């Protein structure tokens, strides 16, 4: 599709020269500092600098928003938070070309490798709290990814479904709490419910109902499959949860990772990038590929995304993230 907004295209065009269409920040194509993340093994230095041009690289910082019309007032420099979005790795039903939706199936061996690779790509980015859907493929992806992080903190699922579950899962060591990362699961981040298509083979369904009808169920914004959810319905719950639960964490200065699904993440990206209902239906997200946003001064700024699972992971770091990476380097010297 010529007009499709592919995830890979977004990654390759925005990892070095950022579009200022939706966000207020500075576009620099001659002196962007790009960080190549290779292996994240302790004791090895696989990180290097790549210049977007022949000029010397430097760290890119978002432009400060103007003050409230008072030129004599200089706004205080606000903190920035990282937001990482990851679509889960390949599931067993992805492999079999079945409609999965809210059916709870695990990752394939390939999906496990994709999750591990995603973790390597974000191993230098601070993470304070993790959100996943209630489905095992998203939770597996989050856990496997965090096993690659250089801080080596342990992700622990928070069980608040009942008073007893909360009480029985308490941690009584403050030191252990410091070395842990809370993982919050939420059904609102689940894949959209495909209704009567769940468990059906996609090709066989197309042969039965026609390619055009199945394409309409899968790719239209407001037309649901039989007894299922449309993308619009999925967006209502996913974006509402994002605003109510995740944004306050970012406002508080927390760095957040969200491991979820193609449609719930497309809904969130539609909100972040201000995409139209026509643009979002053409947005493709690859499995196991992290996307990085910076939240600063009330704005979400897309900072980068790897161009593919076999490619080098490249991000344009802000000064804060560059300092954090240096701190991690110092910890293993």
- Ordered by start, the domain boundaries in the chain are 68-291+307-332
pLDDT of 72 over the 70 cut: no
To the query of whether residue 73 is one of the catalytic residues in this protein, the response is no
Residue 109 banded pLDDT, cuts 50, 70, 90? very high
pLDDT of 212 over the 80 cut: yes
Instruction: Give tens-digit pLDDT for 219-237.
Output: 899 999 999 999 999 999 9
Residue from 61, 80, 117, 191 carrying the catalytic annotation: 191
d(CA 103, CA 66): 47
| 257 labelled ligand-binding | no
| 90 labelled ligand-binding | yes
Q: What angle do CA 263, 240, 258 make, to 5 degrees?
A: 55
Q: Compute how many other C-beta atoms are within 10 angstroms of the C-beta atom of residue 227.
A: 11
Q: Average of pLDDT values for 42-51?
A: 32
d(CA 102, CA 198): 8
| 121 labelled ligand-binding | no
d(CA 96, CA 52): 40
- 312 touches 289 (CB < 8 A): no
Instruction: Give tens-digit pLDDT for 280-296.
Output: 888 888 888 899 999 99
Q: Average of pLDDT values for 112-125?
A: 93
- What's the CATH number of domain 68-291+307-332, 3.30.70.270, 3.40.50.2300, 3.30.43.10, 3.40.50.1240? 3.40.50.1240
300-319 exposure pattern, b = at least 16 Cβ within 10 A, e = fewer? bbbbbbbbebeeebbbbbbe
- 258 touches 86 (CB < 8 A): yes
- 284 touches 263 (CB < 8 A): no
| 237 labelled ligand-binding | no
To the query of whether residue 88 is one of the catalytic residues in this protein, the response is yes
pLDDT of residue 214: 93
| 48 labelled ligand-binding | no
């Amino acid at each position: 599709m010529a007009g499709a907004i592919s995830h890979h295209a977004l990654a390759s065009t925005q990892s070095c020269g950022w579009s200022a269409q939706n966000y207020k920040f500075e576009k620099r194509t001659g002196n962007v500092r790009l960080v190549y993340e290779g292996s994240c093994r302790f004791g090895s230095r696989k990180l290097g600098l790549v210049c977007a041009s022949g000029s010397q690289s430097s760290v890119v910082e978002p432009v400060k928003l103007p003050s409230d019309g008072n030129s004599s007032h200089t706004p205080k420099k606000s903190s920035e938070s990282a937001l990482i979005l990851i679509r889960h790795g390949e599931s067993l039903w992805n492999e079999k070309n079945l409609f999965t939706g809210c059916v709870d199936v695990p990752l394939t061996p390939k999906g496990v490798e994709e999750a591990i690779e995603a973790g390597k790509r974000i191993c230098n980015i601070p993470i304070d709290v993790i959100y996943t859907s209630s489905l095992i493929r998203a939770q597996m992806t989050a856990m496997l990814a965090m096993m690659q992080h250089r801080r080596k903190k342990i992700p622990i699922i928070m069980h608040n479904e009942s008073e007893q579950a909360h009480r029985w899962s308490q941690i009584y060591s403050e030191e252990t709490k410091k070395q842990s990362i809370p993982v919050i699961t939420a059904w609102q981040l689940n894949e959209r419910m495909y209704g009567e298509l769940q468990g059906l083979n996609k090709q066989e369904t197309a042969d039965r109902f026609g390619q055009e009808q199945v394409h309409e169920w899968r790719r239209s914004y407001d037309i649901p499959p039989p007894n299922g959810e449309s993308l619009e319905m999925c967006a209502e719950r996913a974006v509402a949860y994002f605003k109510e639960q995740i944004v306050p964490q970012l406002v508080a200065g927390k760095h957040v990772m969200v491991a979820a699904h193609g449609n719930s993440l497309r809904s969130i990206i539609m909100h972040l990038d201000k995409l139209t209902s026509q643009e979002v239906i053409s947005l493709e997200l690859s499995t196991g590929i992290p996307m990085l946003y910076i939240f600063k001064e009330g704005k979400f700024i897309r900072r980068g995304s790897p161009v593919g699972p076999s490619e080098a992971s490249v991000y344009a770091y802000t000064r804060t993230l560059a300092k954090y990476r240096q701190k991690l380097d110092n910890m293993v010297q």
